Amino acid sequence: MRTVHKVALIAIVYGIVLVIVTWIFFEDYVAWAALGAATALFNHSQMINLTKGEPNQKRIMFHILRRYVLYAIMFAVAFFDTKDLPDQNVMTTTFIFLLLGFVAIKVGTLIYALPFFKHENEPDIKEAPHD
């Protein structure tokens, strides 16, 4: 299995754990944690599809633009959903749980880089011979 798929599986487990912990301790913010993790996992799956075949510059730029537009839309939805509430701590906590979901792939990458995961089957990266 390729490394990106392993990272995605770890990120899915992180997202599930995040949603369960949020559900137990902060029931009002479960949707934001799940939405953040789902957004990060969707963007990662789009990146995996982008790397299949021959990527060109236009496809890469469109992917990056789409990724950040989707993140901006999620922030806008969270902002407009919580701006009229009298307590501003709700908005701050909402953004925190949204960001905890957004970092699902980054947490998956960090966990996959730990020595716990043995990388025996992956080829060593060797430098090209100097001529």
pLDDT of residue 119: 63
The three-point CA angle 73-44-11 to 5° equals 105
Rounded to an integer, what distance in angstroms lies between the CA atom of residue 96 and that of residue 82? 13
Question: 85 and 92 in contact (C-beta within 8 Å)?
Answer: no
Res. 124 pLDDT band, cuts 50 70 90: very low
Question: 96 and 18 in contact (C-beta within 8 Å)?
Answer: no
pLDDT at residue 129 greater than cutoff 90: no
pTM of the model: 0.82
Q: What is the mean pLDDT of residues 63-84?
A: 93
pLDDT at residue 121 greater than cutoff 70: no
Res. 40 pLDDT band, cuts 50 70 90: very high
Question: 25 and 32 in contact (C-beta within 8 Å)?
Answer: no
Rounded to an integer, what distance in angstroms lies between the CA atom of residue 113 and that of residue 18? 20
Query: Shortest CA distance to 78 belongs to which of 123, 118, 39, 23?
Result: 39
